[in-house]
Amino acid sequence: MTSARYDVIIIGTGPAGLGAAFHLSDLNPSLSILMIDREKICSGGLLNDCKQNYTYPTGFAEENWTRAEAERLLPLVEEKLQPTIKEKQNLEIYRKRAQRIGVTLLDIRQAHVGTDRSRLLIDRMMSELTARGVTIVLGKEVTDVFEHESGAGITIGEAERVYGNNVIVAPGRKGFSFLQQIMERLKIAYVDNHVDIGVRIETTLENYPIVRDYYDPKFFFPDGVRTFCTNSGHARVIIEKYQDFSLVNGHALSEEQTANNLVNFALLKTIGLKDPVRSGQQMAVYLGRLAYEIGGGKPLMQRVGDFRMGKRSNAETFNDDLYSAFRPTCPVTAGDLGLAVPAKIMRHIWGAMKKLDTIIPGILHPSTIMYYPEIKMYANKPAFNDEHFRVCEHIFMVGDGAGTSRGITGAWASGIRAAEGIVGLRQTTQREP
Ligand SMILES: Cc1cc2nc3c(=O)[nH]c(=O)nc-3n(C[C@H](O)[C@H](O)[C@H](O)COP(=O)(O)OP(=O)(O)OC[C@H]3O[C@@H](n4cnc5c(N)ncnc54)[C@H](O)[C@@H]3O)c2cc1C
């Protein structure tokens, strides 16, 4: 590190951190900025799939954002990410079918980069930031954030201290315990009462052809269930490893790659917790561990055909007749979701799948796979002191980890809001009635 003191220190090089770094240097090119990440590759969640949604409220935490505020910042996000917006077809047909059974289909401006090409995008971002004089340090873990007489600073590893005037903390969802630890130590109040729990569906393109018309269709079903993060073309389900459990997720390669003819997407139910159980994180960990135990150290999968018959799936039956269409794209244990998913969540997800099959017949084909658990733990929300996500005089918390966003564009926009707070630009917009 070239300097022991910076105007701004940014923890995390994901979209929230990048949004802050770019905007700070746009507003004041002479600021000294340090970006630090524990990973050896810069980027955070930009590295996976990199679908970008440019329509509010997708990707934004509505309690922190008005439409006007999101729409003010989304063009700034777009200017830096330079997306190619995808065309949509037959939207009205799907919308009408959905409306008839009480389902809403949102019309979202979207772009898709693909995991194989996202690295190029990240390299471009890094070169631009380096050219602007931003110091980027990778492969170093921040263990603490502290306040000092004239600002705030960070501790790296055991004891290396770096001082700054301001610190932006943007550690993403995987940084939830780090964030919690800092909030406890700095006595910052926080709430953690929401969590999204659900399954990832994997099927063939023939069973879910809407993706040819609308890359990532956003359906909202009754009972708080929605589709989320659809991937197609060359798509795979992947495992996200946590300390004592694993979750599933999905991504796809760019359209330039040979298609594997599969689609995957999440069906998530939002759970709002009230007294006496109030920690979404804790609920996620308990459910994650339960599935991990039942799956023998791996997530679970069950074919729709087996689920309907009330029997578990078996690895041996993967090649039988109707199930032979495709094999799971990630290492999981064939079993019985009913043993691991809370009954109410399973009932609501199954209800949503039946409605989806009415709108786009095919998804309930017996070969369709349901993977579990897919859980989004982004509800570690601090009490913010202002509209710039300030939590102490010189400390800001943004992105999915702090609950200000739920996706790449929202995270980037959150970083911009923190940057505006630091440079003292108070761009407030009219609150919607
Ligand atoms: C498989 C997968 C696919 C996804 N696909 C999409 C998609 O297509 N579209 C979309 O909008 N969203 C997608 N997401 C979600 C998206 O990645 C996040 O919404 C977004 O990255 C959040 O940005 P962030 O900056 O808040 O956090 P992150 O992108 O998670 O970045 C946080 C960074 O902080 C670093 N960090 C954490 N703790 C520390 C520490 N103590 N010290 C130093 N560094 C630390 C991490 O290493 C990480 O690089 C996907 C997520 C996954 C896992």
- Domain of residue 163, CATH code: 3.50.50.60
Residue 254: pLDDT band (50, 70, 90) is confident
pLDDT at 429: 41
207 and 298 in a common domain: yes
Say which residue, 116 or 20, is predicted with more confidence. Answer: 20
Cα–Cα nearest to 101, from 360, 369, 364: 360
CA of 96 to the centre of ligand 1 (A): 35
202 and 115 in a common domain: no
Say which residue, 150 or 167, is predicted with more confidence. Answer: 167
- Which range has the worst mean pLDDT, 53-57, 127-131, 176-180, 408-412? 176-180
Q: Which residue has its alpha carbon closest to ligand 1 atom 3?
A: 48
- Interacting residues of 72 by C-beta distance below 8 A, sequence separation 6+: 427, 429
Euclidean distance between CA atoms 233 and 216, whole angstroms: 12
Mutate to test the pocket of ligand 1, among 41, 48, 60, 371 (most ligand atoms within 8 A of CB): 48
Q: Is 12 in the pocket of ligand 1 (CB under 6 A)?
A: yes
Q: Are 412 and 55 in contact (CB under 8 A)?
A: no
- Interacting residues of 249 by C-beta distance below 8 A, sequence separation 6+: 48, 200, 229, 237, 238, 239, 240, 266, 374
pLDDT at 67: 96
412 and 296 in a common domain: no
Residue 328: pLDDT band (50, 70, 90) is confident
pLDDT at 368: 95
Q: Which residue has its alpha carbon closest to ligand 1 atom 37?
A: 171
pLDDT at 255: 77
pLDDT at 106: 95
* Number of separate domains in the chain: 2
Residue 378: pLDDT band (50, 70, 90) is low
Q: 323 by DSSP, 3-state: which?
A: helix
Pairing of strands 246-252, 142-148: unpaired
Sign of CA dihedral 156, 159, 165, 166: positive
Q: Is the pLDDT of residue 433 over 50?
A: no
Residue 428: pLDDT band (50, 70, 90) is very low
Using CB atoms within 10 Å of the CB of residue 431, give its burial: 0 to 12 exposed, 13 to 18 middle, 19+ buried. exposed
- Interacting residues of 43 by C-beta distance below 8 A, sequence separation 6+: 13, 14, 118, 122, 125
pLDDT at 64: 93
Q: Which residues pair with 167 in a beta bridge?
A: 9, 395
Mean pLDDT, residues 258-275 taken together: 90
Using CB atoms within 10 Å of the CB of residue 129, give its burial: 0 to 12 exposed, 13 to 18 middle, 19+ buried. buried
Q: Is 11 in the pocket of ligand 1 (CB under 6 A)?
A: yes
221 and 155 in a common domain: no
pLDDT at 253: 86
Q: Is 44 in the pocket of ligand 1 (CB under 6 A)?
A: yes
Q: Which residues pair with 249 in a beta bridge?
A: 238
pLDDT at 318: 67
130 and 52 in a common domain: yes
Share of the chain above pLDDT 70, in %: 94
Q: Which domain holds residue 260?
A: 194-376
Euclidean distance between CA atoms 191 and 87, whole angstroms: 39
- Whether residue 103 lies inside any domain: the answer is no
Joined tokens for residue 341: 């998913």
Share of the chain above pLDDT 90, in %: 73
What is the pTM for the complete model shown? 0.89
Residue for token pair 């969640």:
45
- Whether residue 104 lies inside any domain: the answer is no
CA of 61 to the centre of ligand 1 (A): 16
Residue 159: pLDDT band (50, 70, 90) is confident
Say which residue, 61 or 2, is predicted with more confidence. Answer: 61
Q: Is 17 in the pocket of ligand 1 (CB under 6 A)?
A: yes
Say how many CA atoms lie within 13 Å of 85 toward its Cβ.
Answer: 11
Q: Is 235 in the pocket of ligand 1 (CB under 6 A)?
A: no
- Whether residue 94 lies inside any domain: the answer is no
Mean pLDDT, residues 12-40 taken together: 95
Euclidean distance between CA atoms 413 and 420, whole angstroms: 11
180 and 203 in a common domain: no
Tens of pLDDT along 116-155?
A: 888 889 999 999 999 999 999 999 999 999 999 889 999 9
305 and 269 in a common domain: yes
Query: Cα 160 to the chain's mean position, in Å?
Result: 31
- Which range has the worst mean pLDDT, 90-104, 304-318, 356-370? 304-318
Q: Is 16 in the pocket of ligand 1 (CB under 6 A)?
A: yes
- Whether residue 100 lies inside any domain: the answer is no
- Whether residue 433 lies inside any domain: the answer is no
- Whether residue 101 lies inside any domain: the answer is no
263 and 345 in a common domain: yes
Residue 325: pLDDT band (50, 70, 90) is low
Joined tokens for residue 255: 């359209």
CA of 174 to the centre of ligand 1 (A): 8
Euclidean distance between CA atoms 32 and 15, whole angstroms: 19
Residue 427: pLDDT band (50, 70, 90) is very low
Euclidean distance between CA atoms 396 and 404, whole angstroms: 11
219 and 175 in a common domain: no
407 and 356 in a common domain: no
Tens of pLDDT along 177-186?
A: 899 899 999 9
Residue 1: pLDDT band (50, 70, 90) is low
pLDDT at 430: 40
CA of 14 to the centre of ligand 1 (A): 5
Q: 163 by DSSP, 3-state: which?
A: strand
- Whether residue 102 lies inside any domain: the answer is no
Q: Is 172 in the pocket of ligand 1 (CB under 6 A)?
A: yes
Say which residue, 244 or 11, is predicted with more confidence. Answer: 11
Euclidean distance between CA atoms 255 and 234, whole angstroms: 8
Tens of pLDDT along 354-375?
A: 999 999 999 999 999 999 999 9
Q: Is 13 in the pocket of ligand 1 (CB under 6 A)?
A: yes
- Whether residue 296 lies inside any domain: the answer is yes
Q: Is 421 in the pocket of ligand 1 (CB under 6 A)?
A: no
327 and 179 in a common domain: no
157 and 25 in a common domain: yes
pLDDT at 431: 39
Mutate to test the pocket of ligand 1, among 9, 10, 38 (most ligand atoms within 8 A of CB): 38
Q: Are 59 and 409 in contact (CB under 8 A)?
A: yes
Q: Is 115 in the pocket of ligand 1 (CB under 6 A)?
A: no
Q: Are 213 and 94 in contact (CB under 8 A)?
A: yes
Q: Is the pLDDT of residue 404 over 80?
A: yes
Could you identify the atom of ligand 1 that is nearest to the CA of residue 140? 43
Q: Which residue has its alpha carbon closest to ligand 1 atom 9?
A: 51
Residue 262: pLDDT band (50, 70, 90) is very high
Say which residue, 73 or 280, is predicted with more confidence. Answer: 73
